[in-house]
Each structure stands twice: as structure tokens, then as C-alpha cells.
Amino acid sequence: MFASESSGVLVIYNYSVIIYTDLGYSGSIPLLLSAAYVSCAAIGNYFCSLMIDRVGRVRLLCIGLAGCLVCLCFEATIVAQYAGTDDVAGLRAGVFFLFFYISFYGTCIDATTYVYCSEIFPTHIRPIGMGFSGAILFLTTIPYLEAAPTAFAIIGWKYYLVFIVITAIMVPLIYCYFPEGLSLEEINEVFGDDVAVHLAHFSDEKVKRDVAVGINNNSSTPSSQKTESEGPSAVHIQ
């Protein structure tokens, strides 16, 4: 939760109108861009639901945070160079990297954060663990949001450096020290149950299983059973 909020996602969203205004947009365009920004996040969450069991929780978090880090670096550079100017290409690049940023966040981080936090706690303390995770989320968000208006007014693009530095630290920490989560079916395997399908290799396993089922069905059907089903006479089979 701390890592996801320290990527600056809510600061960028809540003050997106100010950011777009600084990039030279006016009128209703900043509001329309903000609406499109949220729509990209929603679409990204859908794709996250399709990938999370195949790619893995930790890998998705690392990919998402690394992508957000790169986008923040470019965004800070563009705001520093082109904010307040008439360079159309530079200002459009600033908007592009904001949307590129939310694409990484929505696709790799947003839903994954909640799934991962719910999985790493044992069942008997999961409600407490999720409550603690939610508290960390809000305790992290409040200082960033409260400081944002003053920071944007006084130090401008340098406020992005806070999120850049923290995200750069969190990526290797998550990669090296966070254990990978499992799907519900794979968790059962840990306790000795058979797993029919590993979701990470769903396509290959499904093909093999379908082929095996077809072979077994063909080989286990005796000719006498076929005769019985075709004719009215009854055949007793030992």
C-alpha cells in the first residue's frame, strides 16, 4: 500500500486539473483529460484481472512500479522544461506520459495491491491485516495530498522527485524480499490437494488435459458396450 501510494497516483489524479493547466490547457479540456485519465485506469484494472494469476503478483507490481518510475522521470523533465511555454509538442508529451503512467498503474498495480495484501495474511488474522493495510494506505495518502498544492506552487516539478526516489527504492525491495502469491487452486496444492490446472500455464495444460481425456474415453469404451447401445439385446459384461 505504501509503495503504490508513493508512486504519486492520487496526487496526480486529485490535482490533474492543475497539472493540465500548467501544461497549457484551459477551459473544459483539463476536465475532459481527467475523465479520460480515470477511464484508462478502469480499463487497466480489467486487464489486470486477466493477467494477475498468469504473470504473478510480485512481477506485476515490479513491472508497474518500474513503468511508473520511468513515466514520472519523463514527466518531471517535461514539466521543468516546457511548463508555461508555447511548445505544443512538449506539452502534448507531458499529457502522453501522464496517460502512460496511469496505464502502468491501472494494469499492474491498482488491483494487484489489494489482492496481494489479502493473500499474505493467514486466514485468522486476515481482517486485521487488511485493516492495517488500509490504514497504511490512508496514512500515506493524506500527507502527500495535503502537501501537494503548496509543493506545486513553490517547488513545482521538484515535487515529482519525492515519488521518483521512493518508487526507485521500492522496486528492488519488492523484487528481492516480497514472496510471490498463489492462486486459490495453487494454495490447495500446498496443503496436499491435487491441482487440475495451474493458471500460469493454463493454455498448455488445457490442451494436454483435453487430449488425455479424449484418449481415455476412446480406449475405455468396449466394443460390447457399443453393441449393447446399438441393438435391443442385453449383454452382460463382467
Residue range 169-195: average pLDDT? 79
Cell (9 digits) for 186: 495453487
Model confidence at 192: pLDDT above 90: no
Cell (9 digits) for 154: 513553490
Give the integer Cα–Cα distance in Å for 82 and 86: 8
- At 25, the pLDDT band (50, 70, 90 cuts) reads confident
pLDDT digits (tens, 9 = 90+) for 116-125: 988 888 888 8
- At 228, the pLDDT band (50, 70, 90 cuts) reads very low
Residue with C-alpha cell 483435453? 210
Query: Is residue 238 helix, strand or coil?
Result: coil
Q: How many CA atoms lie within 13 A of 228 on its CB side?
A: 9
- At 142, the pLDDT band (50, 70, 90 cuts) reads very high
pLDDT recorded at residue 196: 61
pLDDT recorded at residue 17: 85
Q: Are 199 and 53 in contact, with CB atoms under 8 Å apart?
A: yes
pLDDT digits (tens, 9 = 90+) for 156-166: 899 999 999 99
Residue range 180-187: average pLDDT? 69
pLDDT recorded at residue 112: 92
Burial class (CB in 10 A: 0-12, 13-18, 19+), 105: buried
**Of 208 and 97, which is predicted with more confidence?**
97
